[in-house]
Homo-oligomer: A and B are copies of this chain.
Amino acid sequence: MTKQSIKKAVVLLSGGLDSSTTLYYAVSKGYDCHCLIFDYGQKHKKEIIQASFVARRAGCKGVVVKISLPWKGSALLDNKISVPKNRAMETKGIPVTYVPARNIIFLSFAASYAEAIRAKTIFIGANAVDYSGYPDCRPEFIRAYQAMLAQGLKTSVEGKSIKVMTPLIHLSKARIVKLAVNLKVPLHLTWSCYNGKSKPCGVCDSCRLRAQGFAQAKIQDKALV
């Protein structure tokens, strides 16, 4: 077994620009990446398929975990709540696309997976710059999450710890696009749109943040070609 294959990591992969770039970043750093993909009742189920494509393209294992959140409480889950179109991004407050405790849940499965396969690292593409106002994308949350893992896992009690890595947390969307291009991320396979259509809607927050990033980076988004 080579040294590389021992450096295992769990990567949270949604199939979007940020998580796909995070996966390619982790691979470039020599990690043996195990991708965790969630089917959590999101309207944009297409991202699950695209995430599997991205994992395969990166030569990594992808595990899809199905979970249900019967209480919904988000425009991404509830057909009664529409995904906002052309929302003023400077609007204060957390948008209706916020899914209660989503990253808390995703990271908890990542911790379980990491412990089971003896991985010491979890990668998440959380981004605090263009984060749409989500509280669970901020560095203070990630720090608190890691401190919690240091108390609640068998691994931690045994004196080892699982580290949560967020390589994109302080990058602008434009810088993420540039990094993705440098890392040869298959951007045409990534999916960011919150709506469950066959093509990106172009008017949800996620489409617009992505478009802004590509425009600022002066790079054409091949997913739209």
Contact = CB atoms under 8 A, between A and B. Distances in A.
Interface in A148-195: 148-154, 156-157
A105 B109 contact: yes
Binding site secondary structure of chain A: helix
A135 B112 contact: no
A117 interface: yes
Given A65-B70, A105-B105, A154-B135, A112 B100 contact: yes
Contacts of A152: 101, 103-104, 135-136, 141, 144-145
A104 B67 contact: no
A31 to B, nearest CB: 17
B144 A112 contact: no
Interface in A97-119: 98-105, 107-109, 111-113, 115-117
A89 interface: no
A102 to B, nearest CB: 8
A60 B145 CA distance: 31
Quick one: which of A104, A109, A150 has the most chain B CB within 10 A?
A104
19 contacts: A65-B67, A66-B67, A66-B68, A67-B68, A69-B109, A73-B116, A94-B154, A98-B154, A100-B111, A101-B109, A101-B111, A101-B112, A101-B152, A103-B152, A104-B148, A108-B108, A135-B151, A138-B151, A145-B151
Interface of A: 63, 65-73, 94, 98-105, 107-109, 111-113, 115-117, 135-136, 138, 140-141, 143-145, 147-154, 156-157
